[in-house]
Structure 1
Amino acid sequence: MPELPEVEVVRRGLAEHTTGSTIVQAEVFHPRVARNQLGGTVEIEINLAGLKISEVKRRGKFLWLELADAALDPTGLCLLVHLGMSGQMLIKDPEAPRNPHLRAKLELDDGKEVWFVDQRTFGYWWLGELHDGAPTKISHIAPDLLDSQADFAAIAHNLKKRSKDIKRLLLEQEIVSGIGNIYADEMLWAAQIHPQQRADRLSIKRLENLLECGREVMIKALAQGGTSFDALYVNVNGNSGYFSLSLNAYGQTGEPCARCGTAISKIVVGGRGTHFCTNCQRRR
C-alpha cells in the first residue's frame, strides 16, 4: 500500500497539473470507487462538474482536492482520494489508450484528464465537507511526520502511555499517520529499536528520536520518488520511485545490516512481515 512518501509524491504531481483547473466532467466506471459515498456514483458525477480545484492537500496516506466555485471562492467541499493497495492518480491526454483498470476520471478545462486506475479496487473517492482544514471523513486521522503542526513531544508521550509493541502502534493512524509496514521497519532500524519493544518501556527521549528518524526516512524517500516494488505504485506521470534501493531493513532478509553486518531477520508482528537487525535492535 502506498505510504506517506508515495502519497505525497502523487499529491505534488496533482498540485502541479490541476491547481486552478475547472472540472468539466467527472465519470465513475466502477461502483467500488463510490462505495463510501452517500448517493453513490451519481453524487460524485453531478456535483463535481463546474467546480475548480483550488488546492491539493494530504494527511498521512490520504489526499484531497479542495474545491472552489467559478470565482475561486471556497465551497467547503473536497474530493478525498484513498489509493488503497494499488490506486494510481494519473495525468493523461484524452487520446491516451484506456487502461483496463480505469475506475474513474476527471476531465479538466485545459484538456487534461485525471485518471483513477486501481487494479485491486481497494481505493475510493469521497466527495464531502471540510472541517478545520481536513475532510470530515478523516477527522480521526492524526497528524503525520511531515506535518508542520506535528508535536513530536506530545506524540511521544501518547506512545509512552501504551503497552503494545511499538511497531503495532506506529501502524495505528490515530496516533501518528502515514506510516505503513515499509517505513515502520525503516524508522525502527534507524532508531535501533526492536519492533516488539513495548512502547511504555521506551524513554520519551528514545521515542522522540524514533519520530525524528521517521521524518528523516520519509524525507529521503520523497527525494527518490517513494518506494516501488512493482508497477502498481507510480507517480502522476506513470514513473516509479527508487527508494527501494536505499532500504536498510524492509525486504532485506538475510542481507548484512548496513550498520553492523549481522544478517537482517524477519518475524511477524501484528500479522505483518517485520524486518530488523537482531544485534542493533535488541529487545529490552
Structure 2
Amino acid sequence: MATKLLTFVIFLAGVLPAADAAIDIGKVLGEHREFSLFSSLLSSTGVARATNSREAVTVLAPNNTAVVAALRGVPRGADTRALLSDVLSLHVILEYIDADKLELLAEGRSGDGTRVTTLLQANGKAQGRYAGFVHISVGEEEYDRITFTSGAIGSPWNATFEKAIAQLPPSVSVLQVSGFIFPPGVIPPQPRARQTSMPPAPSPAPGPMAHPPRQPLLPAPAPAPPRPTPATPNLTNTPPPSGNVIPIPIPSVDGGMNATLPSAAGHRVASSWGVAGLLFGLVVCLIWSL
C-alpha cells in the first residue's frame, strides 16, 4: 500500500506543473547592465533579501546614471547605509503593477492618483502618516508623464516613469524611474565637499648636471707685446726737437752764419767744406812757390 502511494506521488510530481519559483530581484536586474548600481545597493543594504521574501512586488529602479548623479561623493558609513535602506524600501511596491495598470492607478477614481503600499511601510520603519506609501499620479506640469512621490501630504514628487523594464506576472515587475524618491523628513545624502585648494606641486626632478668646462692640456701662450707704431716723419716746416739738432754754420750771402741743419745734413756739409778748404790751401801754396 505504501509503495503504491509513493508511486502515485512521484507520478503527480512529474505531471503537475511546478510551483512558481521564489522572487530573485538580483537575477532580474542582472539581465540589464544599466541597473547594476541599483541592484548592488539593494544587496548591500539587505533590501534585496526582504524583496525576495514577498509574493508580488513592483520595483521602481533608477539607472546607473541617475544613481551616480544622486549619490556621487556621499560618504560611506552606518548612518548612510541605514538611510539608503529606508529610501530603497520605498522603491519596492508590494503588488504587481505592469504598464497598463500603472496608467489606471495614475488616474485614480477621482483623477488625483492612487497610494500604494511599499516595503518601508511593511517593515515598520516609516515615520509619519502615509510616509511608507507611494503616490502614483499624473504630473501637474507634464500631463503625459506619470509621477511617483512619497505618500505623505506635502511631499514634492521626486521621480517620473520612464519605461517598463521587466514584466514577469504575477510576481515581479520592474519600472524604470528618473531618480530616487525621498519621504518627508529624510534628507537626501549630501555629497562631500570637494577640496578647492590644490596640493603643492611636486618639486621638479633635478636635471642632469652640466659638465664643467674642460681644462686645456697645455697653458695658453702669453699674448705677444704690441709692436711700437713707427713715428710718422715730420714733413712740415716745423723744426725738429732741439735735442736732435746740431748747429752748423752756413755762410749766407753776406758772409754771416745764420742757418742750421739737422745733425745728419750738418755732417755732410762739413765734409764738403773740409775738402774745399784743403784744395784751396794747396792752390795758395803752389802760387807762393812760384
Sort the TM-score into its range (normalised by shorter chain).
under 0.3
Per the normalisation by structure 1, the TM-score is: 0.26
Q: Which has the higher contact order (CA 8 A, sep 6+)?
A: 1
Larger radius of gyration: 2
